[in-house]
Amino acid sequence: MLASRLAAALKEARHPTCYVALSDRVADEIATAVKALFPDIPLLVLPPWDCLPYDRVPPSPHCMGRRMDALRIWREPGGPPKLLVTSVEAMLQRVPPAAVIEGSKFDLVAGQRFDRASFSQFVRRAGYVEEGVADDPGEVVVRDGVIDIYPAGAPGPMRIVLSDKDEVEELRGFDRISQLTESSLDRVILGPATEAILTNADLNGAVPTSGTMEHVLGRLYEKMPSVVEVLGDAIIHLAPGAETRVERYFSIIEDARQARGHSGKTDNGSARSLYLSRAEWDRYAQGMAVHSLNLEPEDSQPAESFASGAGKSVGRLVQECAKQGQTIVLTGTGKSVEALSRRLAKATCATLQHVDTWQAAISAEPGSLLKLPCTLEQGFVDRRNNIVVIAAPQNSVTNNARLFLAEPELQIGDVVVHEEHGVGVLKDVQSLYINGVARDAARLDYRDSGSLLVPMEDFGKLWRYGSEAQTVTLDRLHTQAWGKKREKIAQDIASTARHLSKIAKEREASRSETFSPPRTSYTAFTRRFPYAETSDQSEAINSVLSDLSSGRPMNRLICGDVGFGKTEVALRAAAAVALAGGQVVVIAPTTVLARQHFATFEQRFAGSGISVGMLSRLVKAGEAKQVKAELAEGSLRIVVATQAVLAKDVRFARLALLIVDEEHRFGLRQKRAMAALAPSLHVLAMSATPIPRTLQSAMVGIQEVSLLMTPPRRRMPVRTTLLAFDSASVRIALMREFRRGGQSFVVVPRIEDITAVEARLRQIVPELAIRVAHGKMPVAALDEAVVSFAAGEGDILLATNIIENGLDVPRANTMFVWRADLFGLAQLHQLRGRVGRSGTQGAATFLTDENTKLSEEARLRLSTLVENDRLGSGLSISMRDFDLRGGGDLAGEDQAGHIKAIGIGLYQKLLADAVVKHRTPMKDAEEQTFLNFGVSGGIPANYVSDPAVRLHLYAKLSRASSPKALADLEEEFEDRFGEPPQEVKLLFRRTRLKLAASRLGIAKFEAGPKALAITIKEKASLRVWASFAKAENAILEKNRLLFEASRAADNEPLYFFETMVASAQKRCKPGIRKRTRN
């Protein structure tokens, strides 16, 4: 095993050591193994830039931060010998001078003095960007008492809490999504977010920092050393085959230089070049400091997949290991390793022994059963030490689920809807002084120069509309138009609510055939799955099996990004039904995707006794006739099809399950035709980017949803960029992919674009083989083009979006989409999911016409794709699509629906209220209590300076619906921004009072110079009325209680009202049924 050999080499040499892997991915895998098995070794990883040589797109702050951190720590004196793992590409790239590397840091220690001026200078010099929220590497938020910063090379952001004396009171790590504290730190060394470290003169404009990185670095540093020079006298081990990779990368660099017009010679000799010359590398490679690590091929090999239902059975594995005297070591943490531990213990009737180190595992008795708490990418067989290592799957669930469920933040410039005044634009936040009391108010601009100030206490009446101001017709103030529009929509929403409730009741009452597959045959089927189930995949499978055996028709959406395991969930559902005697239809929107599914289903069901057929225009007439006959007689259990299966001559003997892939590609009429295939049909829909209508139906509970949020192992996000067409960028990327043995896609929006783009490509990359695919080609020709490209023939596939679904080309890692502004969001996301599917970094570039100005909507759509390039971002994209397009009227055909009139947020709120009211007529939606007295509160700008963040906090406060939610939010304020000032404390007291009062049925609190008043709603419970009526010296006027102003302690109405509500809460049980007072 390489990690073990590296550790041994480091120990034997007692000297700093560097291992150069063939690629960045391999380097990360080696580093993961070393960190897991030898945690005492000081380990560093030096990645290459995550962009192409001489690219117009700069490397990411996270990449540059990791590089600078690794180089700085390597040069720090003292401590045991360090191990640096890097790649060929990183070794060929120059780095900043040693003095720059060592000097670009900022040390923070809890309890020490904080120098604000020095910190401000550091973040400017080191490439940090000031934002309202620090949720990406290289961002910083500076406030008086709390500073948030996301160190560029760190795995997460951190918070600096300062005392009044400018001392570092506390250092905390926090979650980038929730922004809440997760850990406490004693010391943090901040590294830079760039390799272009500026001096004070640079900050004043002496050196321009615009342009690509090589231009900036060439002007900043007179001499840039090689990585070999920075490593000093370290022992350097090259991976076998490194020279071939070196040769290939030099070709990529040379291609890029020529494409950009570089001559190969720079203004200042090799000092200004970002990369080593061939001669320099040869000199280093021939030097005494470079060695080839002696690793025998037979030392280790990957272990057979062993996970939930995969690979060998536990019993067989243990038996074979026992025969050979092999030790079994189980690695991992969390639930997955505990589950495997129980299975191993059950199979061996023995208890797993816990070991803390890999050395302890090596020293254990042969044949031992051990558990080592560490995380490995995959298991392996160590033949040298006769050990079988089983790596339990580590389901590193992303934060995408929280991102998906989070409410979009309000921003200055957003279109909003005021419940009483209609659609306007949120322009800014203003501080008003009313009777000497400061109050924040949001200024809304309306049509015909109308303007409205909304006090933040009424912020609950504002809802995000979803579209941009340029694309929306604003309402006019002081007219009846908005009221009439809202009344009409409210009536329609009530009708929709009745419809939805009827659907829900019918679904509850309907019955369908139950399916529970034979345990033995189903287990045998699941063992053919060659991977470990992720936790959410396993949960989705269990939910589907439960639905199928419930006796009610299943209606479930499997929502997961491209490659996240939706197909396996569908296979399990199909197996459960088919093995129990039912028939299954798998329907796909295109012949390409249907063919892909047919191949997958046919392979998985081989040997199970279940036959799989196919219906599409690719199927010959004779074969289609036979498939239809077998479906009618019941001998064919599973058919994979396009819309051809909806033909009138297709009949089924016992159709039970319909699986719809890429459901967003089908219209409502098509879905109704699918539902009519059989009565009480179980339906399983799958999508990476569900249409807004589907999201909406899931939100209101018509459809069950299972989210697959865990990416497959080794899958990396597709790096997404937006560029105006540039021949050099296209050539650099396509030639790089070609030289690393990969393939590329070039996608155009229309068939008529293919000829022109093909001619352009043949000029840019004449040495590459281009294949063409589009929907108007003869069926056989299209099939041949797509299948042969997937088999590795050709370098570029020039196609329309016909490749959007189902095309699996493992070697394809680069994609260009010409005129990306003409595609939809879901289309673009699906397209980029075609690359980077085999563990190699994928790149998708959305090209625009350099001579065409983008529309505002197109710019927003493309920005959404670029911003959401993390794994699992399909749901975030769907929510943005929900913003841009609207959710539609669930009961009708129109996709825009009423949301175009009143916005997403308000529509959802009104619909939810209407559904609740229809289902439980006695329950009304709670109305906010109105507070009318002098004591105010707010979030001052000197506490939270960014207006957008203040808006978001006001919105969260207005939506808080329980005392716990308020308490959590109060903790969040203190955590993120420090000790709240008096204004914020008053704001929380007012909000807490409103929440409690609205639950009691109190309509209004008022305070005047002579009296205090509490107005109680007519439908408040009798106990509430009795509680307040018993108050001393209370005067009852209709539904209003009056008190003398002197009753308020220290003339503070807020305290008086809080006391009265607290007393009423003690006397009244919450949730009591309301009655009308007579």
Q: Mind listing the pLDDT tens digit for each residue in 215-232?
A: 678 778 888 999 999 998
In a domain, 434, yes or no: no
Contact of 322 with 367, CB cutoff 8 Å:
yes
Q: Mind listing the pLDDT tens digit for each residue in 135-162?
A: 889 999 998 889 999 999 999 999 999 9
Q: Mind listing the pLDDT tens digit for each residue in 852-880?
A: 877 766 776 677 667 655 544 444 544 45
Residue 311: pLDDT over 70? no
Based on the fold, state whether residues 793 and 769 are members of the same structural domain: yes
Share the mean pLDDT of the chain.
Answer: 80
DSSP string, 923-945: -PPPPPPEEESS------TTTS-
Residue 444: pLDDT over 70? yes
Based on the fold, state whether residues 56 and 128 are members of the same structural domain: no
Strand 181-185 relative to strand 168-174: parallel, antiparallel, unpaired? antiparallel
Q: Mind listing the pLDDT tens digit for each residue in 783-812?
A: 788 888 888 899 999 999 888 765 678 889
DSSP 392: -
Residue 532: pLDDT over 60? yes
In a domain, 614, yes or no: yes
Half-sphere exposure of 291 (CA within 13 A, CB side): 13
Share of the chain above pLDDT 90, in %: 29
The H-or-E segment that residue 559 falls in is: strand 555-560
Count of domains for the chain: 6
Residue 751 buriedness (CB in 10 A; 0-12 / 13-18 / 19+)? middle
Residue 238: pLDDT over 70? yes
Dist. CA 770–CA 783, nearest whole Å: 16
- Flag whether the pTM goes above 0.85: no
- Shortest CA distance to 379 belongs to which of 341, 339, 331? 331
The number of beta carbons lying within 10 Å of the beta carbon of residue 81 is 15
CATH of the domain at 321: 3.40.50.11140
Dist. CA 912–CA 903, nearest whole Å: 14
Please report which confidence band the pLDDT of residue 202 belongs to, taking 50, 70 and 90 as the band edges: low
Residues in the chain, total: 1078
CATH of the domain at 551: 3.40.50.300
390 or 771, which is more confident: 771
CATH of the domain at 124: 3.30.2060.10
Sheet with 812-818, strands from edge to edge, namely 719-724, 843-848, 812-818, 743-747, 796-799, 770-773
Domain boundary among 249, 267, 295: 295
Give the angle subtended at the CA of 36 by the CAs of 33 and 42, to the nearest 5°: 90
Choice among 17-31, 483-497, 891-905, 963-977 with the minimum mean pLDDT:
891-905
Domain boundary among 832, 853, 870: 870
Based on the fold, state whether residues 135 and 218 are members of the same structural domain: no
Confidence at residue 413, expressed as pLDDT on a 0 to 100 scale: 78
DSSP string, 163-197: -TTSBEEEEEEE-TTT--EEEEESEEEE--S-S--
Based on the fold, state whether residues 343 and 258 are members of the same structural domain: no
Confidence at residue 90, expressed as pLDDT on a 0 to 100 scale: 95
Contact of 565 with 693, CB cutoff 8 Å:
no
Confidence at residue 888, expressed as pLDDT on a 0 to 100 scale: 44
User: Which of 182-186, 558-562, 839-843, 1007-1011 is the most confident on average?
Assistant: 182-186
In a domain, 338, yes or no: yes
In a domain, 273, yes or no: yes
In a domain, 406, yes or no: no
Based on the fold, state whether residues 557 and 682 are members of the same structural domain: yes
Based on the fold, state whether residues 182 and 217 are members of the same structural domain: no
Based on the fold, state whether residues 3 and 56 are members of the same structural domain: yes
Confidence at residue 466, expressed as pLDDT on a 0 to 100 scale: 65
Based on the fold, state whether residues 214 and 288 are members of the same structural domain: yes
Based on the fold, state whether residues 553 and 643 are members of the same structural domain: yes
Q: Mind listing the pLDDT tens digit for each residue in 623-649?
A: 999 999 999 999 999 999 998 999 989
Copy the structure tokens of residue 699.
């939100």
In a domain, 246, yes or no: yes
Based on the fold, state whether residues 967 and 1016 are members of the same structural domain: yes
Domain boundary among 825, 854, 870: 870
Residue 579: pLDDT over 90? yes
Choice among 15-29, 173-187, 690-704, 882-896 with the minimum mean pLDDT:
882-896
Residue whose token pair is 């049909």: 681
Please report which confidence band the pLDDT of residue 1066 belongs to, taking 50, 70 and 90 as the band edges: confident
Copy the structure tokens of residue 983.
């204004």
In a domain, 472, yes or no: no
Confidence at residue 1076, expressed as pLDDT on a 0 to 100 scale: 40
Q: Mind listing the pLDDT tens digit for each residue in 321-363?
A: 777 888 888 887 766 677 677 777 776 677 788 888 888 888 8
Please report which confidence band the pLDDT of residue 491 belongs to, taking 50, 70 and 90 as the band edges: confident
Based on the fold, state whether residues 684 and 560 are members of the same structural domain: yes
Write the Ramachandran bin of 610: left for phi over 0, alpha for psi from -120 to 50, otherwise beta.
beta
* 3-state SS assignment for residue 424: strand
Sign of CA dihedral 558, 560, 562, 568: negative
In a domain, 463, yes or no: no
Give the angle subtended at the CA of 712 by the CAs of 881 and 379, to the nearest 5°: 170
The H-or-E segment that residue 415 falls in is: strand 415-418
Q: Mind listing the pLDDT tens digit for each residue in 409-430?
A: 667 778 888 989 999 998 888 8
Contact of 751 with 799, CB cutoff 8 Å:
no
Based on the fold, state whether residues 185 and 308 are members of the same structural domain: no
Choice among 435-444, 853-862, 971-980 with the minimum mean pLDDT:
853-862
Sheet with 704-708, strands from edge to edge, namely 612-615, 638-641, 583-587, 655-661, 682-687, 555-560, 704-708
Contact of 779 with 590, CB cutoff 8 Å:
no
859 or 192, which is more confident: 192
Confidence at residue 565, expressed as pLDDT on a 0 to 100 scale: 84
List all residues 6 or more positions away from 932 whose beta carbon is below 8 Å from its beta carbon: 1004, 1005, 1006, 1007
Dist. CA 628–CA 616, nearest whole Å: 12
Which residues on adjacent β-strands are paired with residue 451? 445
CATH of the domain at 1014: 3.90.1150.50
Please report which confidence band the pLDDT of residue 394 belongs to, taking 50, 70 and 90 as the band edges: low
Residue 763: pLDDT over 70? yes
Copy the structure tokens of residue 860.
């927003």
Range of the domain at 29: 1-97+199-295
